Structure 1
Amino acid sequence: MKDKILEEDLLYIANAGGDYEKLYGKSILITGATGLVGSQIVKALLKMNEVKNADITIYAFVRNAEKADKIYDEFAKDKLVYVIGDVGNPVTDETVTLSNGKKISEVQINYIIHAASPTASKFFVDYPVETIMTAVNGTKNMLDLGKEKQSEGVVYISSMEAFGAPDPEKPYVKEDDLGYIDIHNPRSCYPEGKRLCECMCSSYASEYKLPVRIARLSQTFGAGISYEENRVFAQFAKAAMNKTDIVLHTAGKSVGNYCYTRDAVMGILLLLVKGNDGEAYTVAHPEAHITIGDMAKMVAEKLANNEIKVVFDIPESAMTFGYAPDVNMRLNSDKLQALGWKPVIGLEEMYTRMMKSMEYTR
């Protein structure tokens, strides 16, 4: 059954026009194409082809073609090509296979979006070495590919965790307001890895004149989230849907910053064609910031109509679940908005749209 909420979002992106039309007739490679952000980008581009005859060739970098087929089974695939391989390896004719039978050396790649990354906190704690090496090797390989193909634009998907713990007295945190990260905490493999990859992007822009920009994403969710998703926002949504209490394993004091999936995709696509090379842009709704505890309370009261409550079950060690240290920051996205981006969907609507969308995969 087609997800009508996601369909609305994809049509919204496809009909946006303006700067996004610069992508028409181009070829775009997206890594992490079976992940949340990567798959949403691919679907948006496929929808552009469908309703705007955009003639975009989409190279979806995946490890498993069968898994990708399930994700894109409702879309026309005449302009969708799977690049099957591991981003941890240099991209060559020997390391990747294209589903259209061509060789990677034979095709032009006008744009690259590097969205492949581990996302589970427990994975960061259990496999910190793998987390770091996946980030570093994967990013280097994509930057090298962009350099080789003389791509017109590259976007690296970073994370708000790259901010670390900035000055809590600042009312809003901008791109250069980086704070402390404990480099001897194995959980820091993820934010420190993101910082190193951002530095690598800036270095390629400086030394090789590669037109790469960094999209520093806040927590991103919305339509298209599977019911099987287990990140905190999805756990809260499922608790409201199933009328079960929300269980917090921290005191809930960390301030989260959020962005709706549709808004995030539009920001990323805009950065392919606009922005300063080697620079970072925060992708966050400036009004969608709230403590984890208050967000749980909002879901329980407003979305579950006070039929559930918030329960605290705090383990002795935060490492049990791999959660990041508490952070108090409010992200400022003026830099990206100055390019013409405008986030539309607020936090409560993010949840209502996500919950309606999750019903399709329940």
Structure 2
Amino acid sequence: MRQSTSKRVLVTGGAGFLGSHLCERLLADGHEVLCVDNYFTGSRHNIVHLMDHPDFELLRHDITWPLYVEVDQIYNLACPASPVHYQHDPVQTTKTSVLGAINMLGLAKRLRARILQASTSEVYGDPDVHPQPEDYRGNVNTTGPRACYDEGKRCAETLFFDYHRQHGLPIKVVRIFNTYGPRMHPNDGRVVSNFIVQALQGRPLTIYGDGSQTRSFCYVDDLIEGFVRFMDTPEQHTGPLNLGNPGEFTIRELADMVIRLTNSSSKIIAKPLPQDDPKQRRPDIARAKALLDWEPKVRLEEGLKRTIAYFDRALDRHELARAAE
């Protein structure tokens, strides 16, 4: 029997890494889910196990075009999130962030639906404040190769808060820090997936610079828990809200851990540091702790074991080889 609190929920980017996990969680919580994706970086493979669920619906659509559906809540996750993908077509990346936000906000306004924006720690740029609290305004290069994503997401946040102020729209804005787990794209250029694929193939693990730059890695289940809890908070809590793991590791430490956990014979090689690559990244999650009683529970080593098992099980070596080409 359907729960009386059940809602019809739209998840844009629902066939992507984070979106597929969110769809799964929402269905488990008893909601109807409309998954929307244009498959630029998402994949039907990520949600094929949900296709026969009676409360799951899939729609192929690009949110740079208006969408006319009836829902109670919207999670706006649609946008390529790794440098390899968002720099492939930077103009389209900006359009997805900005026009996509306008279209989803317009839909939410018509329906008076609560809407959550998946923003990013990239709005902080290469930070000169560490760790990064939500009131830090960032250090972003507006003309660099990462700006299509960084500035697109910053503009999307502006639109969300202006719709809230001008139209009283119930919004939630989360800033996602590095997240990893099963269903990551093997060729997305992110450090966790790069290292795992390289280690499983016995190829050298590529670090940039001397590997001393730091990142904080949040397991996907912890992030999704934060999403759901924040969406359910009272309307006056709009964010922005950092969601991520405050545990901080150097890139070289991560490489060493992946090699050990995969029992790989891979070596580590260094290449020049890309332009505007942040030297350090760690969230201040004091607000999330206080508001949501939330903090990550999955330790990096345990999360890596689960992610490695996914890559090893779900992708045979030939598929990994093709993905890495």
Please indicate, yes or no, whether the TM-score normalized by the shorter chain is above 0.5.
yes
Instruction: Name whichever of 73-82 and 343-352 sits farther off.
Output: 73-82
Q: Which amino acid counterpart does residue 158 of structure 1 have in structure 2? A: S
Residue matched to 2:308: 355
Q: Is the Cα–Cα contact under 8 Å of residues 118 and 173 in structure 2 kept in the other structure? A: yes
Residue matched to 1:111: 73
Residue matched to 2:288: 336
Q: Which residues of 2 match residues 280-295 of structure 1 at below 5 A?
A: 280-287=240-247, 289-295=248-254
Residue matched to 1:77: 53
Q: When the two structures are superposed, what TM-score results if normalisation uses the length of structure 1?
A: 0.78
Q: Which amino acid counterpart does residue 47 of structure 1 have in structure 2? A: A
Residue matched to 1:63: 38
Q: Is the Cα–Cα contact under 8 Å of residues 243 and 288 in structure 2 kept in the other structure? A: yes
Sequence identity of aligned pairs in percent? 24
Among residues 213, 217, 229, which one is paired with 2:176 in the alignment?
217
Q: 2:77 & 2:63 partners in 1: Cα distance?
A: 10
Q: Which amino acid counterpart does residue 134 of structure 1 have in structure 2? A: T
Q: CA deviation at 1:327?
A: 2.6
Among residues 167, 178, 195, which one is paired with 1:236 in the alignment?
195
The reply to whether residue 183 of structure 1 matches residue 139 of structure 2 is: no
Q: CA deviation at 1:219?
A: 1.1
- Deviations, residues 184-211 of structure 1 (Å, cap 9, x unaligned): 2242121111111111111111111111
Q: 2:246 & 2:149 partners in 1: Cα distance?
A: 24
- Deviations, residues 100-129 of structure 1 (Å, cap 9, x unaligned): xxxx2xx3x111000000123134444322
Q: 2:89 & 2:48 partners in 1: Cα distance?
A: 32
Residue matched to 2:7: 26
Q: CA deviation at 1:286?
A: 1.4
Q: 2:262 & 2:18 partners in 1: Cα distance?
A: 27
> RMSD across aligned C-alpha pairs, in angstroms?
2.4
Residue matched to 1:9: none
Q: When the two structures are superposed, what TM-score results if normalisation uses the length of structure 2?
A: 0.86
Q: 1:218 & 1:68 partners in 2: Cα distance?
A: 22
Q: CA deviation at 1:68?
A: 6.0
Q: CA deviation at 1:154?
A: 1.2
Secondary structure of 2:28 counterpart: helix
Unmatched tracts of structure 1, length 5 or more? 1-20, 49-53, 93-103
Q: 1:114 & 1:345 partners in 2: Cα distance?
A: 25
Q: 1:233 & 1:206 partners in 2: Cα distance?
A: 38
- Deviations, residues 272-298 of structure 1 (Å, cap 9, x unaligned): 1116444211111112x2222332133
Q: 2:210 & 2:73 partners in 1: Cα distance?
A: 43
Q: Which amino acid counterpart does residue 355 of structure 1 have in structure 2? A: I
The reply to whether residue 91 of structure 1 matches residue 91 of structure 2 is: no
Among residues 128, 140, 145, which one is paired with 1:167 in the alignment?
128
Q: Which residues of 2 match residues 80-159 of structure 1 at below 5 A?
A: 80-92=56-68, 104=69, 107=70, 109-151=71-113, 153-159=114-120
What is the number of residues matched between the two proteins?
309
- Deviations, residues 238-277 of structure 1 (Å, cap 9, x unaligned): 2333333212244323321221000111111112111644
Q: CA deviation at 1:69?
A: 5.0
